[in-house]
Amino acid sequence: MKNDTKNIPWHSRFDLPSITFILFLLLALGSLPALEGSGRDLDYLGNFLRFLDQFFPPDWSILGQTMEGLWETIQIAAISTLLASFISLFLSLAAARTISPAWLVIITRMILNMIRTIPSLLWAILAVVLVGSNSLAGVIALSFYSVGYLAKFFSEAFESADLKAQKALQSLGANRWQAFQYGLWPNLKPVIWSHCLWMLEYNVRSASIIGYVGAGGIGLHLKLYAESADSWNKFSLVLICMLVIVTLLDLTGEKVRKSIRAKLEGNKVL
Amino acid sequence: MKPQESCLLEVRDLHLRIEDRWLARDLSFSLSKGEFIGIIGSSGSGKTTLLRAINGETKAESGSIKIGAESKLPVGMIHQDLELAEGSTALNNALSGSLLRHAWTDTLFGFPKEEKEKAIELLETLGLSRKVNQWTSTLSRGERQRLAIARTLLAEPLILLADEPVASLDSDWAIKTLDLLNDFAKQKQAGVICSLHDPKQVEEFADKVIRIDSTNPEQWKVEELS
């Protein structure tokens, strides 16, 4: 017994998670110089308290125009999510291993990876260059950005879908489209809707910031207040409004997704 | 030999096996219009494999399965694992059995009214009238089994293959359901082949019984029941 324990090689106790954890710790320790900041002797706490003081009380006089900006943000998010969902449905068919040939899957997935690599703010800069500084730029930017994610999620949904009902309908005489519409799509629809809702929430958050580079929405208000002196109380009102809207959307989305999951798992939840 | 006019299906010298295990050798039988055939055998004896071979899902080792004397007849199968669209309502799942009668453009935005009425009536007969708009995933196993039966009956096949269709039903519903399948065979002049576990049910409903025993693949028996 004793000999057996001795024969176990020392490195066998290191599995992939423990190796990556050690590497992460080494990287974090090696990154300590990032904490140095400017190197000047600044009163960090005092600065923070002064800054916080300028935030409150929020300036409620700009509530009307803030709500207008937020409404534009929601519009940008909604239309870009809708556009991206349509485009993603077709792209996801090309990216699903169970549906398309390997060469098409590889090419489509490479394109989707490239789209995801570029952050939404960069897409917004590109769109502003293309169509100018307006909400259309925001729609274009977020549509591209969302396609990268939604097409990936949808293709995974297609790949993991149960094909038995579809095949059963084909064996009962339905053609391929009918078998897809009534055998496969009902199982996919709730999952796909759940992904769209998540993307909508995400896009409302993204649409709030892309205005910073001129792509419409509330981001432009944030930029103006951040750059003008003594406007931090206006800035804080915009942040509060954004927080309320995003939280409400998150809670609603989560409730709907939870209900969808429960129903698919066979629980009677409305 | 030319099959008779009333003959819907003729199985001749069928050899069935799964990997190295023989399930049946030289199995022969025929199915006529209005006939109800029961298949009986222990679990793993090859009842499902035989039904799947007739439905064209599994290839037999040798022998012939002739469906229809001249032209191919519509075949419908109630699978043991039901194969329903879980995210669809019970009504739409039932209605999807009728798809073969319609062009895809006719069912793109829903089903014709007369099909809906027929489906609701059948779901009522099967005790599912209150569940029509409920997601299939939220139905019990017994309800889902009855729904799968409704879907296949709405396809109106001339050969109906049923793989243990009453396995999850209580005795009352099992009898009602087998009655329904029997009536379907007699009224539509269709043939039903149904695998069952309960010999009493076979005796009560079947016109003919196929007894298979994979421990002795040559010793299958086809018996007429009075």
ipTM value, please give it.
0.83
Report helix, strand and coil shares of chain B as percent, to nearest 5.
35, 25, 40
Angle CA B42–B43–B49, to nearest 5: 105
Q: pLDDT (tens digit, 9 = 90+) per residue, B18-32?
A: 877 777 778 888 898
User: In this structure, what DSSP letter does residue B112 have?
Assistant: -
User: In this structure, what DSSP letter does residue B17 have?
Assistant: E
CB B14 within 8 A of CB B63: yes
Percent of chain B clearing pLDDT 70 (strictly above): 95
Encoded tokens for A38:
């400017």
A168 pLDDT higher than 70: yes
Question: In this predicted structure, what is the pLDDT of residue B113?
Answer: 92
Q: Which amino acid is at B132?
A: V
**Are A187 and B86 within 8 A, CB to CB?**
yes
CB B11 within 8 A of CB B28: yes
B153 pLDDT higher than 50: yes
Three-state SS across B53-74?
Answer: HHCCCCCCCEEEEEECCCCCCC
Q: Which residue has the higher pLDDT, B16 or B134?
A: B134
d(CA A65, CA A220): 12
B86 touches chain A (CB under 8 A): yes
Taking the CA of residue A142 and the nearest CA in chain B, the distance in Å comes to: 30
Q: Which amino acid is at B42?
A: S
Question: In this predicted structure, what is the pLDDT of residue A105?
Answer: 94
Q: pLDDT (tens digit, 9 = 90+) per residue, B123-145?
A: 999 999 899 999 998 999 999 99
Out of A172, A173, A186, whose CB is closest to B87?
A186
A259 touches chain B (CB under 8 A): no
CB A216 within 8 A of CB A77: no
Question: In this predicted structure, what is the pLDDT of residue B5?
Answer: 62
B152 pLDDT higher than 70: yes
Q: Which of B99, B156, B112, B159 is nearest to A165 (CA)?
A: B99
What angle do helix axes A232-264 and A44-55 make, rounded to 10 degrees? 80
Cα-based distances in Å from B164 to A140, A183, B41, B77, B194:
55, 22, 11, 11, 7
d(CA A119, CA A132): 19
Question: In this predicted structure, what is the pLDDT of residue A14?
Answer: 79
Q: Which domains does chain B have, with CATH numbers?
A: 1-74+157-226 (3.40.50.300), 86-154 (no CATH)
Taking the CA of residue B184 and the nearest CA in chain A, the distance in Å comes to: 17
B85 touches chain A (CB under 8 A): yes
d(CA A208, CA A126): 17
* Mean per-residue pLDDT over chain A, rounded: 88
The total of other beta-carbon atoms located within 10 Å of residue A200's CB is 20
- What's phi and psi for A34, nearest 5 deg? -65, -20
Q: Which of A188, A191, A189, A201 is nearest to A253 (CA)?
A: A201
Best B105, B137, B153 residue to mutate vs chain A (most A CBs within 10 Å): B137
Question: In this predicted structure, what is the pLDDT of residue B226?
Answer: 65
Q: Which residues pair with B62 in a beta bridge?
A: B15
Q: pLDDT (tens digit, 9 = 90+) per residue, B177-192?
A: 999 999 999 988 899 9
Out of B83, B95, B135, whose CB is closest to A165?
B83
Q: How does residue A269 score in pLDDT terms, banded at 50, 70 and 90? A: very low
Q: How does residue B35 score in pLDDT terms, banded at 50, 70 and 90? A: very high
**Are A183 and B151 within 8 A, CB to CB?**
no
A161 touches chain B (CB under 8 A): no
Question: In this predicted structure, what is the pLDDT of residue B174?
Answer: 92
CB A99 within 8 A of CB A109: no
Encoded tokens for A85:
């969902």
Cβ-Cβ contacts under 8 Å between A and B: the total is 86
B15 pLDDT higher than 60: yes
A82 pLDDT higher than 60: yes
Mean pLDDT to the nearest integer, A125-146:
92
Q: How does residue A102 score in pLDDT terms, banded at 50, 70 and 90? A: very high
Out of B83, B102, B137, whose CB is closest to A168?
B83
Mean pLDDT to the nearest integer, B113-129:
93
Q: How does residue A224 score in pLDDT terms, banded at 50, 70 and 90? A: confident
**Are A266 and B137 within 8 A, CB to CB?**
yes
d(CA B220, CA B226): 19
Category of A133 on φ-ψ map: left (φ > 0), alpha (ψ -120 to 50) or beta: beta
Question: In this predicted structure, what is the pLDDT of residue B3?
Answer: 47
Question: In this predicted structure, what is the pLDDT of residue B114?
Answer: 92
Chain B 38-77, CB below 8 Å of chain A: which residues? 55-57, 74-77
A182 interaction partners in chain B (CB closer than 8 Å): 85, 88, 92-93, 95-96, 99, 107
CB A124 within 8 A of CB A137: yes
CB B68 within 8 A of CB B43: no
**Are B96 and A162 within 8 A, CB to CB?**
no
**Are B85 and A186 within 8 A, CB to CB?**
yes
Sheet arrangement for strand B7-18: B21-32, B7-18, B62-67
Question: In this predicted structure, what is the pLDDT of residue A104?
Answer: 95
Q: Which CB contacts under 8 angstroms, 24+ apart, belong to A128-137?
A: A128/A213, A128/A214, A128/A215, A133/A214, A133/A215, A133/A216, A134/A214, A134/A215, A134/A216, A135/A72, A135/A75, A135/A76, A135/A215, A135/A216, A135/A217, A136/A216, A137/A210, A137/A214, A137/A215, A137/A216
